[in-house]
Chain A
Amino acid sequence: MIWNDEFETLPREALASLQLKRLQNTLERVYSTVPFYRQAFDRAGVKPEQVQSLSDLQRLPFTLKQDMRDNYPYGLFAVPMEEIVRLHASSGTTGKPTVVGYTRQDIDMWSGLMARSFAAAGVGRGDIIHNAYGYGLFTGGLGAHYGAEKLGAAVIPMSGGNTKKQIMIMQDFGSTVLTCTPSYSLYLAEAAAEDGFDIRNFDLKVGILGAEPWSESIREEIEQKLNIKAIDIYGLSEILGPGVAIECIEAQNGLHIWEDHFIAEIIDPQTGEILPDGDEGELVITTITKEGITMIRYRTRDITRLISEPCICGRSHRRLQRMSGRSDDMLIIRGVNVFPSQIESVLMQVEGVEPHYQLIVDREENLDSLEVQVEVTEDIFSDEVRILQGLSDRIRGQIKDMLNISCKVRLVEPKTITRSEGKAQRVIDRRR
């Protein structure tokens, strides 16, 4: 279902002129209200009125996560605090978090985009949304919550954790939609089975899953284990929160980025150059309607490509290919660039291997080492040593073939790899 027919199917030309008009207004506004942007534009020698076409955007400098940290907490806000009605912060793994503020109109816009996103995933009035994204400083919980209410669906504000209760509520309340991270959805299925329930028999029909990178094989696993359609949603707090882009249920192939509110560019993460249409690179987003915090050419660190071909769902907004990793998740092991998602896709090709794995990176005698820990389930377990050793040899060989790095594969007992109730911790880098 299309929530906002007028804007979601706007012809490309009209969409482009809307983007330009909104971009020009945005640049004028932040140039006068945010000293950081005024200085950055001046250094680049560009005045807002010189941006006469969408390609002129390239003349402006990038904004980095570090810029937000340097202006902690409110330095990048584009409106006085009187206009701000909500604050969120990103989960800063090191040091200070990054803070974002929303005006009342921002919250309205966000709720609208989340409602659009839910509708694109086939969710509507009458649905019961089991919202297991964390409520709090993290944007996931409240972002999905407000969108669900705007849509007119019934929302259960579960938040994360307390898995046993989640399962009981999900079953008793007849939840039809699950919103959480992909890894948590699998954890829920596993925990339900442990309590003697088959989650496939619950009323769930759709999972709207995001906030961490996942692969097509994990999607199959989730769809099969939960008996749902698994929809990929994308967002980041610096830009908005959840609801920046989402897959439509019709195609489940690429995430429509809401281009009436965001301008997407793909750059070479090394050189910063704009890449040709359809090439894979780092996603850069400019917000063109957001008031509280406005991001001009924000480097998301997410690696994807833009799909310009029309989609069968009828929406005119271009699609982002499923994120293949983050440029800052990238591990450099003995000089080779490795994304955890690449190792995951090797593991998924091995019959019976559960998506439960962990990568341990260490340094031994000044040499990087990679250990891939894989859980041994009943499907792959054998009473014969040579069969299990053959399995780990096969995994090691395929990783070597694909990534050209040697690793050690260690088979571990099920559930020895820490289950996360939020984002899965796939990598332990002991070199840091």
Chain B
Amino acid sequence: MTVQQISIFIENSAGRLAEATSALGAAGVNIRALSLAETSDFGILRLIVDRTDLAKEVLTKGGFTVDKTDVVAIQVPDRPMGLGTILNVLDVEGIAVEYLYAFIERCGDHAVIIFRFDNCFQAIAALTAQGIEILSAKEVSEM
């Protein structure tokens, strides 16, 4: 039930971000969700794309350092406390969230949020036990 995310090491130099996204665009890869973590020296671009393997290949060829990580796509009710409920479940179970970011598109009347956990499977078990919907890779790619 996990989704594959690709992450890219980006030096904080002008144009590198554009080069990465242009390389993907030229190969016909569509970005579905993204987040950019930055420090004063470098950034890490994290992407959910429609074709992960192609994206990794294209970026590696373009000289980027690329990694693939399993993340979890969670359906979050689009109302006050929607996200709070989910975080509470994780808190009770003692599951740490490394980072999270929102999907651009909605899934019906739900928002979709990408979570990065240390242990995906423990998190998935805890959330599904509480009736929280996890999206499969297929569902994400069809959104």
A and B bound?
yes
A residues neighboring B (CB under 8 Å): 376-378, 381-385, 388-389, 410-416
Chain B interface extent, by class: 20 to 34
B99 touches A384 (CB 8 A): yes
CB under 8 Å from chain A, chain B span 94-117: 98-99, 116
Please, which residues of chain A bring their CB within 8 A of the CB of B41?
Answer: 410-411
Of residues 105 to 136 in B, which have CB atoms within 8 Å of A's CB atoms? 116
**A385 touching B39, Cβ below 8 Å:** yes
Find the residue from A383, A413, A416 having the highest chain B CB count within 10 A. Answer: A383
Distance in Å from the Cβ of B74 to the closest Cβ of chain A? 18
| Bound-state Cα–Cα, A384 to B39, Å | 11
Contact between chains at A383 and B66 (CB < 8 Å): no
Quote the shortest CB–CB distance from A385 to chain B (angstroms): 5
Chain B positions 3 through 33: 1 when the CB is less than 8 Å from some CB of chain A, otherwise 0: 0010101110000100000000000000000
Contact sample, A vs B, 7 pairs, CB 8 Å cutoff: A377-B65, A381-B9, A383-B46, A384-B98, A385-B37, A413-B11, A416-B11
Question: Contact: A414 with B69, CB < 8 Å?
Answer: no
Query: Which B-chain residue is minimally distant from A413 (CB atoms)?
Result: B11
- B99 neighbours in A (Cβ, 8 Å): 384
Residue in B5, B37, B63, B69 whose CB lies within 8 Å of A413: B63
Chain B interface (Cβ within 8 Å of chain A)?
A: 5, 7, 9-11, 16, 37, 39, 41-42, 44, 46, 63-67, 69, 98-99, 116
With contact pairs A412-B11, A413-B9 given, residues A381 and B116 touching in the complex (Cβ less than 8 Å): no
Known contacts: A376-B9, A413-B9. The answer to whether A388 contacts B66 by CB under 8 A is no
Not counting A381-B66, A413-B64, a sample of 6 additional A-B residue pairs whose C-beta atoms are within 8 angstroms of each other reads A378-B66, A383-B46, A383-B116, A388-B44, A414-B63, A416-B11
Known A383-B7, A383-B67, A413-B64: A389·B116 in contact at CB below 8 Å: no
Q: Please report the number of residue pairs spanning A and B whose Cβ atoms sit closer than 8 angstroms.
A: 50
How far does the alpha carbon of A378 sit from the alpha carbon of B9 in the complex, in Å? 9
When chains A and B are docked, how far (Å) is the Cα of A297 from the Cα of B16?
53
B67 touches A382 (CB 8 A): yes
Contact A415 B67 (CB under 8 A): no
Q: How far is the CA of A389 from the CA of B16 in the complex (A)?
A: 20
Find out whether the CB atom of A389 lies under 8 angstroms from the CB atom of B63: no
Residues of chain A lying within 8 A (CB to CB) of residue B39: 385, 388-389
Closest partner residue, chain A, to B5 (CB atom)? A383
Instruction: Return the chain B residue nearest A416 by Cβ.
Output: B11
Check A378 against B69 for contact (C-beta < 8 Å): no
**Max count, chain A CB within 10 A of own CB: residue among B44, B64, B69, B116:** B44
What is the bound-complex CA distance between A324 and B41, given in angstroms?
A: 32
Q: How far is the CB of B79 from chain A (nearest CB, A)?
A: 30
- In the complex, the 7 A-B pairs of residues with the closest C-beta atoms, listed nearest first: A383-B7, A381-B65, A383-B69, A385-B37, A413-B11, A376-B9, A381-B67
* Shortest Cβ gap from A17 to chain B (Å): 61
Query: A190 → chain B, closest Cβ, in Å?
Result: 12
Residues of B contacting A383 in the complex (Cβ-Cβ under 8 angstroms):
5, 7, 44, 46, 67, 69, 116
Q: Of all chain A residues, which has the CB nearest B7?
A: A383
Most buried by B among A376, A412, A413: A413
Chain B: CB-nearest residue to A410: B41
Residue pair B11, A378 in contact (C-beta under 8 Å): no
Of chain A, the residue at the smallest CB distance from B38 is: A385
Give the nearest-CB partner of A378 in chain B: B65
A368 to B5, CA, bound (A): 42
- CB-CB under 8 A from A381, the residues of chain B are 7, 9, 65-67
Complex: how many Å from CA A96 to CA B10?
42
Cα distance A412–B10 in the bound complex, in angstroms:
8
Q: Which residue of A lies closest to B68 (CB)?
A: A383
- Per the bound structure, the CA–CA distance linking A415 and B37 in Å amounts to 22
A202 vs B121: C-alpha distance when bound (angstroms): 44
Nearest-neighbor residue (CB-CB) of B69 within chain A: A383
Cα(A414)–Cα(B39), bound, Å: 18
State how many angstroms separate the Cβ of B48 from the closest Cβ of chain A. Answer: 12
Contacts of A416 in B (CB 8 A): 11
A378 and B42 contact, Cβ closer than 8 Å, known pairs A383-B116, A384-B98: no
Shortest distance between the CB of B77 and any CB in chain A (Å): 27
Q: How far is the CA of A410 from the CA of B41 in the complex (A)?
A: 7
Q: How far is the CA of A381 from the CA of B42 in the complex (A)?
A: 12
Q: Which residue of B lies closest to A375 (CB)?
A: B65
